[in-house]
Every structure is written in C-alpha cells, then in structure tokens.
Amino acid sequence: MPTSINDSSASRPTLGLTEYALLFALGITWGTSYLFTKIAVDEVAPLTLVAVRTVIAASLLMGLVGLQQRSPLSLTGRDCAAFALVGLVSNALPLSLISMSASYVDSSVVATSMALVPLITMCLTMLNGEYPTPRAVLGIVIGLAGIAILFGPSAFLSFGDSAKGALCALGASIVFSGSLIAMGLVRHHGAMRVAAFSLLAAAIWSVPMALLIEGVPTALPSHAVIMAVIVLAVFNSGCANLLLFALVPRAGASFTSINNYLVPVIALICGAIFLGESLSVQKICGVVVVLAGVAVSTFRRRPVAAE
C-alpha cells in the first residue's frame, strides 16, 4: 500500500524489487538529462529550453490522461494551487537552474550538485517527524565521500570557472529537495495525473518567464539540438515525472532522493562515452564508493514481504 511522504519513522514504507527498479529507472532518466541539456544549451537559451521541454512533455501526458479519463475531470481550487506549487518546485524552477548552470559549467559538475539532495531532503523530512536511521546517515556520508572522490575537492570549491554555475546548481538541489516534500499535497491523485498536471503547471510557469526574459527565438537550432530537446521532453521529462510521482508515494521522499547518488555516476559515464570526457581510475573508485553508499542506505537485514 502506498505510503505518504509525510509518514513518520514509525510507519516506514516497505521496499521491494518494484521500488528499487523504479529508483534505478529514475536515475537513468535524470542521469542522461545532463548530457542532452549540455548539448541543447549550446544553441537554445536556458529558459526557452525549459519552456519547450515542459510544453511538449505536458502535452503528451495530458493526452494520455485524456485517453484514460472516461468522465470529466474536475479539480478543486486547492488542487490547482497544489499543482501550481509542485509544478514550480519540481520542474519549472529546478530545470531552469540546471539549464543555466549547464550553460556555465560542465554537465558532470551540475550532476554532482544533485548529490546534495538526499542530505537536504533528510533535513527537511525531520521537520515532519521522519528521522533517518543511523544506517541511512552512514550511507549518505559514504555517498558524499564517493562524490568527492569522483570529481575531486576543486569541483566543490570552484565549480569550474564560474560562480554563477555553482549558485544555480546549488539552488536546483535545494529547490528539488523541497519538491519531494511538496508532493505530499497531491498524493491523493494517481501518478499519471500528478505527472501530467505538474508538467502543465510547469509549462504555464516557464513559457511567460522565457518570453519575458529571453524573448521569442529568432532562428531554429540544428537537427542534433532539436533531437536533444525532444529526448529531454519525452524521456527526461515525461517518463521521469511518471517514475518520480509513482515512486515517492510508494517509498517516501528520503528513499527517492537516494537516486541522486546514481545521477552523477550515470552522467559521468555518458560524458565519457558521448562527450569524450576522460574516465580515470579516480573516477572509477568514486563510482564504487557512491554505489556502496546507496547499498548501505537501503540495505535491509530482514527480508521484506512481497506485495
């Protein structure tokens, strides 16, 4: 039975194969997004990229909701306000910050910042009475140590050559951490509906902001960039939101945030394969330590009951 992200430590969700599969799939969709974002921002302004990305993704998911919905769908004023908030903090704002950060620094550096999400989420969920276990705290420490090994101390001190990139990346991790808690406002809706209306709200936020700040694009980007934008919209936004809103009610915010340890690893591998970035022994050791942190955080001695 799905568990609210506001549940206390006395009522922890049961984690099974389905939850771990969703966690890994979510890591793939987010980990590859930094590669395509880096490709797209070379020719498309950051806020415009987010606007186009959310509009396409919202259109697809709203179409799916329409096919599933047999009776007219009505939302209360409270629902609309909740979706507006969730759309802002889970998509519009963090995606904008990530795109702006990627325009200043390497994609792997942006992905590294998302490793802060589990730690920030742990602090936020403590306000709701969900206290982490000693094993979870140890796993977070090991995961952060792995991130430090992956990119070295200089990555955290300078974030490349631009302080703007560092601030945007840090802001994205903070905002997204808050979004995992805000999702509790819409947990009574199904995953498909939550993903669709959240992306619709994100598009409503993003389009006016992009037009106001960056204006109307004057030229079409290259075919490669257009394909990158489509992948970002369909796979990295549409599919990722379905996975996200399916996982959070089942496993909770803290477990969901652990996928952000996987994201830098996947981004690093994609950068090495598709962008020609070096994959050194240091980075391989970092991958091992990060995965060890995930294992420590989520490993259970007692077998869980099958659903």
Report the 3 state secondary structure along the chain.
Answer: CCCCCCCCCCCCCCCCHHHHHHHHHHHHHHHCHHHHHHHHCCCCCHHHHHHHHHHHHHHHHHHHHHHHCCCCCCCCHHHHHHHHHHHHHHHHHHHHHHHHHHCCCCHHHHHHHHHHHHHHHHHHHHHHCCCCCHHHHHHHHHHHHHHHHHHCHHHHHHCCCCHHHHHHHHHHHHHHHHHHHHHHHHCCCCHHHHHHHHHHHHHHHHHHHHHHHCCCCCCCCCHHHHHHHHHHHHHHHHHHHHHHHHHHHHHCHHHHHCHHHHHHHHHHHHHHHHCCCCCCHHHHHHHHHHHHHHHHHHCCCCCCCCC
When pLDDT is averaged across residues 278-294 and rounded to a whole number, the result is 78
Of the segments 9-13, 112-116, 166-170, 212-216, which one has the largest average pLDDT value?
A: 212-216
Burial of 104 (0-12, 13-18, 19+ CB in 10 A): buried
Instruction: Note the pLDDT of residue 87.
Output: 94
Select from 101, 93, 104, 112 the least CA-distant residue to 30: 112
Q: Phi/psi of residue 257, each to 5°?
A: -70, -15
Note whether 261 and 29 are within 8 A (CB): no
Select from 189, 240, 238 the least CA-distant residue to 58: 238
Q: Where does the pLDDT of residue 133 fall: very low under 50, low under 70, confident under 90, or very high at 90 and above?
A: confident
Of the segments 179-183, 197-201, 260-264, which one has the largest average pLDDT value?
A: 197-201
More confident call, 99 vs 279: 99
Note if the pTM is more than 0.75. yes
- What percent of the chain shows pLDDT beyond 70? 86
What value does the mean pLDDT of the chain take?
A: 81
Instruction: Note the pLDDT of residue 160.
Output: 53
Instruction: Note the pLDDT of residue 29.
Output: 93
Q: Where does the pLDDT of residue 159 fall: very low under 50, low under 70, confident under 90, or very high at 90 and above?
A: low
Select from 237, 246, 229, 210 the least CA-distant residue to 87: 237
Per-residue pLDDT at 94 exceeds 90: yes
> Which residue type, as a one-letter code, is found at position 37?
T
| d(C-alpha 175, C-alpha 93), whole Å | 7
Instruction: Note the pLDDT of residue 82.
Output: 92
Q: Where does the pLDDT of residue 200 fall: very low under 50, low under 70, confident under 90, or very high at 90 and above?
A: very high
Find the angle CA(112)-CA(105)-CA(27) to the nearest 5 degrees. Answer: 35
CA distances from 76 to 1, 58, 73, 83, 251 (A): 25, 20, 10, 11, 27
